[in-house]
Structure 1
Amino acid sequence: MRVLLVNVPHPSIGSRIPDDHLPPLGLLSIGGPLIDDGHDVRLIDGEFGPLPLEKLVDRIVDFEPEAVLFGHSGSTSGHPIIAAVAARVADRLPHAAIIYGGVFPTYHWHEILHTEPWVTAIVRGEGEETARQLIGALEAGESLAGIAGIAYRGPLGPCATVPAPVIRDLDSYRVGWELIDHARYSYWGRLRAVVVQFSRGCPHLCNYCGQRGFWTRWRHRDPVLFAKEIARLHREHGVKVFNFADENPTVSKKAWKIFLEALISENVDVILVGSTRADDIVRDADILHLYKKAGWQRFLLGLETTDAKTIELIRKGAATSTDREAIRLMREHGILSMATWVVGFEEETDVDLWRGLRQLLSYDPDQIQLLYVTPHRWTPFFRIAEERRVIQTDRRRWDYKHQVLATGTMPAWRTLLWVKFTELVLQGRPKALWRTYCHPDPGLRHAMRWYSQMGRRVWPYEIVNFFLRRRTKDGPTLGAFWGDPLDAEEYSMSVGRVASPVRSAA
């Protein structure tokens, strides 16, 4: 079967400002098993350019696919673009199956199938095996009712099948690296790069997290085989930077140590970057030298907030003392710390934001990334914020870098100024400038300069973008804007749970 994987151009600031682009790991992970099943599989990556939507549609049509698979890691803000492209493709290729996967469609399946008649089926949750079964059924002209882990349009309307069994052996499905030209993808300042995934899921219960129920449980790949794959990609394709897509790769200290030692034994000069939790860094104080020796240059630490009451509200399960110690330990071992801090969990005042700035200064992170709270309809936090007003009704802007919720204590422009002021102070203080331009480690100096150069482009862009983009002062409540909460379906992909139909959003 002729199968086309499509990565649409994403409107987020993070996609448009950097000169670097990373390959779409999710689509490649689906592509590998489909190739092994004998299908003719191709990938179109619309991020390059970015490719105008009409040209993207033309390229899709030119391939004459029998099935078109859409997916995007930033799936909430990416959905409007996917919907627009899919509608045009269906109009020109009426006999092609349109298949959609990702976090957003996994939970919004009912209304997508209700309002977007061109969608043939939605893959819910992880899709390597589900996509194989789905494409096989379409090729054979069989009913979709017996395929676990999908949603489709049945005789009585949109319906979801039983959850697919969790993939216990992540090494049983391979990534379709042959679908990309490695020379086109880069990160860390034009260094050849890919996205990889050691583990799936996270055992923690942060109530704002959009992915905590998507993977259903934490699992990891074989540490030695994973290290060998990284070494092979470096030796055969010249990949230098490996960006880990894991929510929390370091959950198992035992497995993580085996991976680090296996990669060290491969003796490859690579750069590893990713995210983890501060408490894992503190736990691993005795093996952080292995992190550095294996190639780790930066960890993103999701601090989210420095306020104890807010930490309790969002069920972060962390402590400010642990966050501070993790940053200290990483610096001691020559690993950069990027701290993310989220504005808008509650109705912050000037005093709250000033106190947050002072606490961030005491943490002394190497890099800072400020984000705006972006509630997902399927998370418990959605109910907490359900009565707050929406000021950004363009769903393409729901990417964490645009304010989407009103703060009753101050106008949106003042919140923006606080965010920009905080970033300026953190990145412009003498310590940060010294590390950026005078760090004794040339690799870390390069990393700091690259991030600083990108920040100088993003910082003014966000300010100008804020005043040019339309917002509403008297918008609907969050609940009225998105519809009924879907938190009851958060873990609906777990075996033993069957998704129940939900009302479409108003």
Structure 2
Amino acid sequence: MRILLVNVPHPAIGSRIPKEQLPPFGLLCIGGPLIDDGHEVTLVDGEFGPRPLGTLVAEVVRLAPDAVLFGHSGSSSGHPIIAEVSAAVAQALPTARIVYGGVHPTYFWREILRDEPHVHAIVRGEGEETARRLMRALERGELLDDIPGIAFRRGDEVVGTPSASVITDLDAYRIGWELIDHRRYSYWGGKRAVVIQFSRGCPHLCNYCGQRGFWTRWRHRDPVRLAKEVAHLHREHGVEVFNFADENPSAGRKPWRAFLEALIAENVSVTLVGSTRADDIVRDADILHLYKRAGFERFLMGMENTDEATLKLIRKGGAVAKDREAIRLLRQHGILSMVTWVAGFDDQTDRDLFRGLRQLISYDADQIQALYVTPHRWTPYFRLAADRPVVQADKTKWDYKHQVLGLSRMPPWRLFLWVKLIEAVAQLRPRALLRWAWHPDPKIRHAIRWYYRMGRRVWIHEIAGFVFRDRRSDDGRTVADHLGAAQDHEEEASRVAARRKVTPSASAPAPAA
């Protein structure tokens, strides 16, 4: 089959302002197995430019594929754009099969198939094996009922098959790197870059996380194989920066250390950036020198809040003392720390926000990323937020960078001013500016200055958007009204095979005493 993978332009501010694009890693993960199955696979990346939607549709129509596969890491905020583009493609190419995968369609498959008749099938959960089986069935004209992990329409009936099994061997499916021109993708200030993944899933129980249930459980790639892949991409394609897509790559200390040591043995000079938990940094205090030698320049740590009561509410499982210690340890080893701070978990007041600002400053992190809580109906947190008012009805704005939930004791404009003030004060405090002006490590100095340049443009863009473009709602609609009923009973997207208890057969020899 002629298969086209389409990455639509995303409305998220971070995708637009830096003028640097990372490749759509999820689509590349699907593309590799499909190529190996003999399909003719092409990727169209609408992020470049970004392409106007009409131009993107025209390019898809020109290529005349048999099947068009849509997916986007932006999840729910990217769905309205995918819906618009896929509908236009289906109208122009009525014989093409439209397939949609990713986090959002995994949980909203009923609504999508009900409301968007042009979508032929939805891939739920991890897609490497499911997409292979689906494309094979579509090519042969076979029934779809026996393919686990999909949803489709049979006449007027919407059908969902049983969940697919979680992928236990992440090295069984290769990434389709040949689908991209590496010269076009950059990050970290114009350096050639890709997204990579050591693990999937997270063992922790944060109740607001929209990713935890999608991956179902934590697994990791073979440490040595991944190190060789990183080295190959650097040597053969000039890739300098590797952005880890993992939620928690360091969850397993032993395999994580094995990866760091294997990459050090490859003797390549690369920049690694990723996310982890403060607990893991503190746990790994004795091997942080390996992090640095392997190439790590920054870790984003999802601290979410500095208030102990809020951390308990969202089941973060962290502690303020460990957060501070993790930042100190990273700085001691020459690695930048970025912390996320999320507004709106509870009904905050000016006093709460001022206290949060003071605590953030005392943390002395290198970079701050202020976000807004954004509920997902497949997470336990959704039940806590279901009755809260919605102040942003445009679902393309449900991207963590726009305020979507109202507060009873503060209008939206005042919370917005607080968030912008927190960002500005945290980044312009004297200690932070001193590091910007002078840092002994030239690579870290480059990273700091790049982040300030990008952050300044994003900060101004967000203010202009709030004042001139964003339209806030005040119609009394609640989160439940906007998104539907809670779905946390379906949070785990894949099934995990039960461990079988093996008992000796009657003919088997008895174990030695």
Q: TM-score, normalised by structure 1?
A: 0.97
Residues 106 and 493 of structure 2 are in contact (CA less than 8 Å); yes or no, is this contact kept in structure 1?
Answer: no
> What's the counterpart of residue 340 of structure 2?
340
Q: How does 1:442-457 map to 2 (within 5 A)?
A: 442-457=442-457
Q: How does 1:86-101 map to 2 (within 5 A)?
A: 86-101=86-101
Write the distance in 1 (CA, Å) between the matches of 2:292 and 2:493.
39
> What's the counterpart of residue 491 of structure 2?
490
Q: What do the CA deviations read for 1:405-425 (whole angstroms, capped 9, x no partner)?
A: 111111111101111111111
> What's the counterpart of residue 510 of structure 2?
none
Q: What do the CA deviations read for 1:416-439 (whole angstroms, capped 9, x no partner)?
A: 111111111110011000111211
Amino acid at match of 1:373: V
Q: How does 1:31-46 map to 2 (within 5 A)?
A: 31-46=31-46
Residues 5 and 68 of structure 2 are in contact (CA less than 8 Å); yes or no, is this contact kept in structure 1?
Answer: yes
> What's the counterpart of residue 438 of structure 2?
438
- 1:390 correspondence with 2:390: yes
Amino acid at match of 1:427: Q
Q: What do the CA deviations read for 1:17-73 (whole angstroms, capped 9, x no partner)?
A: 111100000000000000000000000000001001111001001111000000000
Structure 2 residue matching 1:426: 3-state secondary structure? helix
Structure 2 residue matching 1:122: 3-state secondary structure? strand
Q: What do the CA deviations read for 1:337-384 (whole angstroms, capped 9, x no partner)?
A: 001000000000001001111111111000000000000111111110
Write the distance in 2 (CA, Å) between the matches of 1:386 and 1:226.
41
Amino acid at match of 1:33: P
Q: How does 1:132-143 map to 2 (within 5 A)?
A: 132-143=132-143
Residues 125 and 493 of structure 2 are in contact (CA less than 8 Å); yes or no, is this contact kept in structure 1?
Answer: no
Deviation, 1:165, is 1.6
Amino acid at match of 2:277: R
Counting matched residue pairs gives: 497
Residues 100 and 121 of structure 2 are in contact (CA less than 8 Å); yes or no, is this contact kept in structure 1?
Answer: yes
Deviation, 1:156, is 5.7
> What's the counterpart of residue 330 of structure 1?
330
> What's the counterpart of residue 112 of structure 2?
112
Write the distance in 2 (CA, Å) between the matches of 1:88 and 1:368.
40
Write the distance in 1 (CA, Å) between the matches of 2:425 and 2:471.
28
Deviation, 1:474, is 3.1
Q: What do the CA deviations read for 1:97-136 (whole angstroms, capped 9, x no partner)?
A: 1000000000000000000000000000000000000000
> What's the counterpart of residue 409 of structure 1?
409
Structure 1 residue matching 2:413: 3-state secondary structure? helix
Residues 208 and 376 of structure 1 are in contact (CA less than 8 Å); yes or no, is this contact kept in structure 2?
Answer: yes
Amino acid at match of 1:484: A
> What's the counterpart of residue 511 of structure 2?
none
Write the distance in 1 (CA, Å) between the matches of 2:475 and 2:332.
49
Write the distance in 2 (CA, Å) between the matches of 1:474 and 1:281.
45
The structure with more radius of gyration: 2
Write the distance in 1 (CA, Å) between the matches of 2:141 and 2:250.
43
Deviation, 1:473, is 2.5
Structure 2 residue matching 1:338: 3-state secondary structure? strand
Write the distance in 1 (CA, Å) between the matches of 2:154 and 2:493.
19
Q: What do the CA deviations read for 1:153-195 (whole angstroms, capped 9, x no partner)?
A: 1356112111112111100100000000000000000000000
> What's the counterpart of residue 367 of structure 1?
367
Amino acid at match of 1:478: V
> What's the counterpart of residue 316 of structure 2?
316
Write the distance in 1 (CA, Å) between the matches of 2:144 and 2:330.
50
Write the distance in 1 (CA, Å) between the matches of 2:92 and 2:473.
36
Residues 163 and 495 of structure 1 are in contact (CA less than 8 Å); yes or no, is this contact kept in structure 2?
Answer: no
Write the distance in 1 (CA, Å) between the matches of 2:476 and 2:403.
13
Q: What do the CA deviations read for 1:180-224 (whole angstroms, capped 9, x no partner)?
A: 000000000000000000000000010000011111110000000
Write the distance in 2 (CA, Å) between the matches of 1:7 and 1:124.
18
Structure 2 residue matching 1:170: 3-state secondary structure? coil
Structure 1 residue matching 2:249: 3-state secondary structure? coil
Structure 2 residue matching 1:41: 3-state secondary structure? strand
Write the distance in 2 (CA, Å) between the matches of 1:436 and 1:82.
39
> What's the counterpart of residue 299 of structure 1?
299
Write the distance in 2 (CA, Å) between the matches of 1:90 and 1:492.
28
Amino acid at match of 1:163: S
Structure 1: tracts of 5 or more residues without a match:
498-506
Amino acid at match of 2:440: P
Taking every aligned residue pair, what percent have the same amino acid on both sides?
68
> What's the counterpart of residue 479 of structure 1?
480
Deviation, 1:252, is 0.7
Q: What do the CA deviations read for 1:254-309 (whole angstroms, capped 9, x no partner)?
A: 00111000000000000000000000000000000000000000000001001111
Write the distance in 2 (CA, Å) between the matches of 1:181 and 1:158.
39
Residues 124 and 493 of structure 2 are in contact (CA less than 8 Å); yes or no, is this contact kept in structure 1?
Answer: no
The alignment yields a C-alpha RMSD, in angstroms, of 1.0
Write the distance in 2 (CA, Å) between the matches of 1:200 and 1:456.
32
Q: How does 1:71-470 map to 2 (within 5 A)?
A: 71-155=71-155, 157-468=157-468, 469-470=470-471
Structure 2 residue matching 1:175: 3-state secondary structure? coil
Residues 162 and 495 of structure 1 are in contact (CA less than 8 Å); yes or no, is this contact kept in structure 2?
Answer: no
> What's the counterpart of residue 502 of structure 1?
none
> What's the counterpart of residue 504 of structure 1?
none
Structure 2 residue matching 1:479: 3-state secondary structure? helix
> What's the counterpart of residue 503 of structure 1?
none
Write the distance in 2 (CA, Å) between the matches of 1:258 and 1:482.
43
> What's the counterpart of residue 500 of structure 1?
none
Deviation, 1:495, is 4.4
Write the distance in 2 (CA, Å) between the matches of 1:474 and 1:355.
31
> What's the counterpart of residue 54 of structure 2?
54
Amino acid at match of 1:281: I
Q: What do the CA deviations read for 1:438-495 (whole angstroms, capped 9, x no partner)?
A: 1111111100000000111111111110122111123401101111111111114224
Write the distance in 2 (CA, Å) between the matches of 1:475 and 1:118.
33
> What's the counterpart of residue 8 of structure 1?
8
Residues 373 and 400 of structure 1 are in contact (CA less than 8 Å); yes or no, is this contact kept in structure 2?
Answer: yes
Decide which moves more: 454-463 or 334-343.
454-463
Write the distance in 2 (CA, Å) between the matches of 1:474 and 1:350.
25
Structure 2 residue matching 1:334: 3-state secondary structure? coil
Residues 123 and 131 of structure 1 are in contact (CA less than 8 Å); yes or no, is this contact kept in structure 2?
Answer: yes
Write the distance in 2 (CA, Å) between the matches of 1:455 and 1:71.
27
Structure 2 residue matching 1:491: 3-state secondary structure? coil
Q: TM-score, normalised by structure 2?
A: 0.96
Structure 2 residue matching 1:172: 3-state secondary structure? coil
Residues 215 and 493 of structure 2 are in contact (CA less than 8 Å); yes or no, is this contact kept in structure 1?
Answer: no
Write the distance in 1 (CA, Å) between the matches of 2:460 and 2:494.
41
Decide which moves more: 34-43 or 483-492.
483-492
Amino acid at match of 1:236: E
Write the distance in 2 (CA, Å) between the matches of 1:230 and 1:104.
30
